[in-house]
């Protein structure tokens, strides 16, 4: 009897990384104190009480129980358009906004709109693993632009241009970066934008961690103010981190109206509409919780400072890039793979990190540390924890 088969594009993918490293918790006996989980990037503090109140009100509303607009609730599209217009000093309309169920879905919907089986999308190496697997399961080829520690794990424009050829439909980047934390300076972003515009290639900019840039940094970039940006630029965003609601799954796409029209076709088949109650709550939270969000950004900055100080006292460890929620740390175990080093750190020191090898090739000496998950006092314990694993 014939055996029913799976889609090989899915079956050949590795299992999701986060559950795998989370399982290492069972290997730690607690001898150094409570386990410190620096794996998955989640806000290390709760949502604002008003956010919880608005979520409850919206969830209990009969009006929110039905289907909503595919592109998103009009109130949220308007509130987000006004917000990003201020952030980027640009004129962004509600029609330029498409709401999705989280930023992972935003990436998938955008990619389905611009690339198909056999096309190629360029990613950086290291890259966010969900971007890589989304493309692989869609039959889209991936080209990797290698980034190096000596360059701050940022891509060189000439390296990108060398990889743009027939069949390349998009370049996708993340800034501040996941996994490294590296932040793309405006000049580099403009150079990449100009390259993509020159070659008729989409530039996909995932700015999930935008709100954790230094408060005095000004606008993240000026790309949305460039005339004709709609022809080659697509911006992605997640409300999960800034509003502490990852379980409610809301993201956003900023793009030209023609792109929004194509993405709506994809979304109608993926989900019809993003969850409506959190959209209603966010429409109120965006204008109301600015001071609270800025306070959280300061807290994350304090955590980054604490990690920098702790690691500075550990001569065998090195932070090679840091920003927003992440640090990309070079571990001292030259004889071990990144996977082995991360597992030992979990088992012997009670610290969960993600092996650098999960994010690309040539990264065996690196671990991703999601330091935003822990408060300053907890981060200061890492010196003793890391030292306990010295070999």
pLDDT of 270-295, one tens digit each?
999 999 999 999 999 999 999 999 99
* Calpha distance 140→46 (Å, rounded): 38
Domains and CATH numbers, the chain: 8-46+292-387 (3.90.1150.10), 62-288 (3.40.640.10)
Q: With cut-offs at 50, 70 and 90, classify the pLDDT of residue 390.
A: low
* Percent of the chain clearing pLDDT 90 (strictly above): 92
With CA atoms as reference, report the closest residue to 300 among 209, 205, 179. Answer: 209
Could you report the per-residue pLDDT of 149-200, keeping only the tens digit for each? 999 999 999 999 999 999 999 999 999 999 999 999 999 999 999 999 999 9
The predicted-structure confidence for 336-351, as pLDDT tens digits, reads as follows: 999 999 999 999 999 9
Averaged pLDDT score across all residues of the chain:
95
Looking at per-residue confidence, does 275 or 44 come out higher?
275
CB 78, CB 93: distance < 8 Å: no
Report which DSSP code applies to 311: H
Model pTM score: 0.95
SS3 content of the chain, % helix, strand, coil (to 5): 45, 15, 40
Give the confidence band of 15 by pLDDT, cuts at 50, 70, 90.
confident
- CB burial of 138-154 (b: ≥16 within 10 Å; e: otherwise) equals bebbbbebbbeeeebbb
């Amino acid at each position: 009897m014939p055996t029913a088969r799976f889609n090989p594009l899915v079956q050949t993918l590795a299992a999701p990384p986060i559950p795998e490293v989370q399982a290492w918790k069972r290997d730690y006996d607690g001898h150094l104190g409570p386990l410190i989980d620096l794996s998955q990037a989640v806000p290390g503090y709760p949502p604002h009480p008003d956010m919880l109140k608005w979520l409850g009100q919206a969830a209990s509303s009969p009006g929110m129980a039905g289907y909503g607009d595919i592109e998103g609730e009009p109130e949220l599209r308007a509130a987000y358009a006004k917000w990003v217009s201020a952030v980027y000093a640009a004129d962004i309309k509600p029609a330029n906004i498409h709401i999705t169920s989280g930023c992972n879905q935003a990436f998938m919907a955008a990619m389905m709109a611009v690339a198909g089986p056999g096309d190629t999308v360029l990613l950086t190496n290291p890259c966010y693993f969900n971007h890589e697997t989304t493309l692989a399961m869609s039959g889209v080829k991936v080209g990797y632009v290698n980034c190096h520690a000596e360059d701050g794990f940022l891509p060189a424009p000439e390296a990108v241009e060398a990889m743009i050829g027939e069949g390349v439909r998009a370049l996708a980047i993340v800034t501040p970066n996941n996994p490294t934390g590296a932040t793309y300076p405006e000049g580099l972003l403009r150079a990449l934008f100009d390259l993509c515009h020159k070659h008729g290639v989409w530039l996909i900019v995932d700015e999930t961690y935008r709100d954790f840039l230094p408060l005095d940094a000004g606008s993240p970039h000026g790309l949305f103010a460039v005339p004709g940006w709609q022809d080659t630029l697509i911006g992605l965003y997640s409300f999960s981190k800034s509003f502490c609601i990852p379980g409610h799954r809301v993201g956003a796409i900023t793009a030209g109206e023609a792109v929004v029209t194509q993405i709506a076709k994809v979304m109608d088949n993926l989900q019809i509409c993003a969850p409506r109650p959190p959209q209603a709550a966010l429409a109120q939270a965006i204008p109301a919780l600015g001071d609270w969000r800025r306070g959280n950004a300061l807290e994350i900055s304090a955590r980054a400072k604490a990690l920098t100080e702790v690691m500075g006292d550990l001569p065998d460890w090195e932070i090679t890039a840091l920003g927003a929620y992440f640090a990309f740390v070079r571990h001292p175990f030259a004889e071990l793979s990144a996977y082995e080093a991360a597992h030992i750190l979990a088992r012997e020191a009670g610290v969960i990190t993600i092996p650098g090898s999960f994010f690309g090739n040539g990264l065996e000496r690196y671990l991703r540390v999601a330091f935003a998950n822990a408060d300053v006092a907890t981060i200061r314990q890492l010196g003793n924890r890391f030292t306990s694993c010295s070999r």
